[in-house]
Amino acid sequence: LQSHLADVEKTHLRDLLRDEQRSSSCEVEHNGFFVDYARQRVTAETMNKLMALAKAANMKEKIQAMFAGDRINVTENRAVLHVATRAPKGEVIKVDGVNVVPDVYEVLDKIKSFSEKVRSGEWKGATGKPLKDVVCIGIGGSFLGPAFVHTALRTDHRAPLAASGRRIRFPSNVDPIDVARQLNGLDPETTLVIVVSKTFTTVETMLNARTVRAWITSNICVPDAVSKHMVAVSTDLALVKDFGIDPVNAFGFCDWVGGRYSVTSAVGILPLAIQYGYEHMERFLAGCWDMDTHFRDAPFDKNIPVLLGLIGVWNTQFLQCPTRAILPYCQALAKLPSHIQQLSMESNGKGVAMDGTELPFEAGEVEFGEPGTNGQHSFYQLIHQGRVIPCDFIGIIKSQQSVYLKNELVSNHDELMCNFFAQADALAYGKSAEELVAEGVAPDLVPHKTFTGNRPSSSILLPTLDAYTVGQLLSHYEHRVAVAGFIYGINSFDQWGVELGKVLAGKVRTTMNQARTKGVPITGYNSSTIALMNRYLSGKTKWLYPEPRDVFPSTSRQRVRPEPRRLWPLEGTSNADVGH
């Protein structure tokens, strides 16, 4: 591949795209999921060599090992079986010789029963009112995946009917502004809170959970307020019980489901089933499984996640393009780029191989994106005339919302898709100085208006955006990430890189408490950090409570409430009215 690179460097996409046979060979379709990678800087020889690379990396064997429940997450000694969370009931997927699919359906059946009770009004809050709103507290994969799926479905013509009269919020950031905004306008008496933390120890999630618990109990003064209004997605039933949640209302998932791959477990299915109904989640899971089996069974030259995963490696390692733009031409996919950021960068942002040896290259892609056409007015300048950034264009044939004005040339969705088609070609073809001169462009402007082109992209086209195709899309990107990791020889299923900052934050937490409650000087850090912390503390109010008290944002300037009352500022409350 490295020696072949010189041949590819001599080509330009405007020439490659003249070859109709090549373009046709770059089209792949599976059950309506259509991909065109003709605008990638690859030839037939490139693809043959990438297939040879996959064979040399034992790609097929690694895929089989994942589906077989082998412990391919070697640093945590775990299987990697998020695919089992969407397997049909009759499928057999084993871990240590035990079929785990029945365990998956035990949880799914429990979710179905509980969600139907909440949606029907059979499950009521502590004051006897039906629970119409859901607050789902999580972070990372416990937030990004469910939020992506929710955003994708909320304007689908079927799902909103099932969600009529219901609201769902996803507080995730430990910043109190996030919780305040997510709770704003909700009634505690009609709100169900879902706390998502496998170990029930995630610092940010549990602080937010305790905060929302205080919101519940300060407004609903009955003994069973927490047990009626809070449930958990966790495997630690003891901590769930200590928190005040009835362990009967805890929904588990196994350690072979990683956080960023967990949206198809109880993490995502529970809140989304309550919002949209369990039937829609069954369609979502079916779409995931459809792409799962395609990835497992399809030959590599027709295997969409394998093809695009290999091309990603080609772009990153050989064309030296380590960044990728996720560009959905569909506003309903607005949360897809942020989910792919975590999925890809937490999985493949590694510096060592499976055996712990340092990699002789930099693994992983830098991911970012924005829906079209918003992105065109933001960062497309850079991808057209600045750095070369391979792009994934994602389009939908049938819009969730159809608008056509009688005097317009095309419908609103057609206008969007005109840009979808045009942008990919603009990146590929560019515009030469000769063309600009022929058009009469002033000589001093020619360099500024020249587009080099030869900028790679793939186009993904879905028939519609519904629960099933959202599942296909999610599964595709999950497996595309795994393909790159299998090639690199890294563990795409651990995340040790997030740990160090958490440990250091624990030390800072202790220091902060001592400084704010006892005035203890900041020591034990470098001079820069000490100066930053002192500057921060100089603008804060010292805690001088005679005894521990709960303190919440207030429309008054009081630091401590003398009695319980509804928490969080209403719309229109100024920042000056909120205490430190």
pLDDT tens-digit profile, the chain (580 residues): 999 999 999 999 999 999 999 999 999 999 999 999 999 999 999 999 999 999 999 999 999 999 999 999 999 999 999 999 999 999 999 999 999 999 999 999 999 999 999 999 999 999 999 999 999 999 999 999 999 999 999 999 889 899 999 999 999 999 999 999 999 999 999 999 999 998 999 999 999 999 999 999 999 999 999 999 999 999 899 999 999 999 999 999 999 999 999 999 999 999 999 999 999 999 999 999 999 999 999 999 999 999 999 999 999 999 999 999 999 999 999 999 999 999 999 999 999 999 999 999 999 999 999 999 999 999 999 999 999 999 999 999 999 999 999 999 999 999 999 999 999 999 999 999 999 999 999 999 999 999 999 999 999 999 999 999 999 999 999 999 999 999 999 999 999 999 999 899 999 999 999 998 888 999 999 999 999 999 999 988 766 666 767 766 543 333 333 333 444 444 443 333 233 3
Same domain, 509 and 479: no
Q: Report residue 191: phi and psi, to 5°.
A: -115, 135
Q: What is the pLDDT of residue 157?
A: 85
| 55 and 187 housed in the same domain | no
Q: Among residues 255, 281, 307, which one ends one of the domains?
A: 281
**Is position 293 within any domain?**
no
Distances (CA, A) of 483 to 32, 278, 330: 22, 31, 26
Domain extent at residue 187: 83-281
Q: Is residue 445 part of a domain?
A: yes
In a shared domain, residues 470 and 506? no
Q: Are residues 319 and 437 in the same domain?
A: yes
Residue 346 is among the residues annotated as catalytic for this protein: yes
Catalytic residue among 49, 335, 339, 346: 346
- Residue 526: what pLDDT? 97
Of 143, 188, 186, the C-alpha closest to 167 is 186
Q: Minimal CA–CA distance to 88: which of 308, 373, 290?
A: 290
Are 110 and 251 contained in the same domain?
Answer: yes
What's the distance, Cα to Cα, between the start and end of the chain in Å?
58
346 and 456 co-located in one domain = yes
Quick one: pLDDT at residue 552?
67
Asked if the structure places residue 553 within a domain, the reply is no
Q: Return the CATH number at 169.
A: 3.40.50.10490
What tokens appear for 449 in the block?
């208006």
Count of other CB atoms within 10 angstroms of residue 404: 10
Residue 158 in any domain: the answer is yes
Same domain? 337 vs 416 = yes
pTM > 0.85: yes
Is residue 577 situated within a structural domain?
Answer: no
**SS3 (DSSP) at 575:** helix
The β-bridge partners of 248 are none
Rounded Cα distance between 500 and 505, Å, is: 9
Same domain? For 487 and 510 the reply is: no
Q: In 3D, which of 155, 154, 215, 159 has the Cα closest to residue 186?
A: 215
Closest to 66 measured CA to CA, from 52, 83, 53: 83
- How wide is the angle at C-alpha 257 spanned by C-alphas 352 and 467, nearest 5°? 120
Domain count, the chain: 3
**Integer Cα distance of 281 and 471 in angstroms:** 9
Task: Output the pLDDT for position 543.
Answer: 64
Does some domain include residue 569? no
Q: Are residues 352 and 483 in the same domain?
A: yes
Residue 78 included in any domain: no
Chain centroid, CA 201 distance in Å: 21
What pLDDT shows up at residue 550? Answer: 75
For 275, phi and psi rounded to 5 degrees?
-75, -45
Same domain, 98 and 113: yes
Are 19 and 36 in the same domain? yes
Say if CB 321 and CB 390 are below 8 A apart.
yes
| Same domain? 316 vs 465 | yes
Q: Which of 157, 377, 540, 542 is catalytic?
A: 377
As to burial, measured by CB atoms within 10 angstroms (0-12 exposed, 13-18 middle, 19+ buried), residue 121 is exposed
Residue 49 resides in a domain: yes
Q: What is the pLDDT of residue 168?
A: 98
| Kind plus residue range of the DSSP H or E element containing 286 | helix 278-297
d(CA 306, CA 482): 9
Per the annotation, the verdict on 55 as an active-site residue is no
Whole-angstrom distance, CA of residue 355 vs CA of residue 85: 29
| Catalytic one of 302, 502, 507, 540 | 502
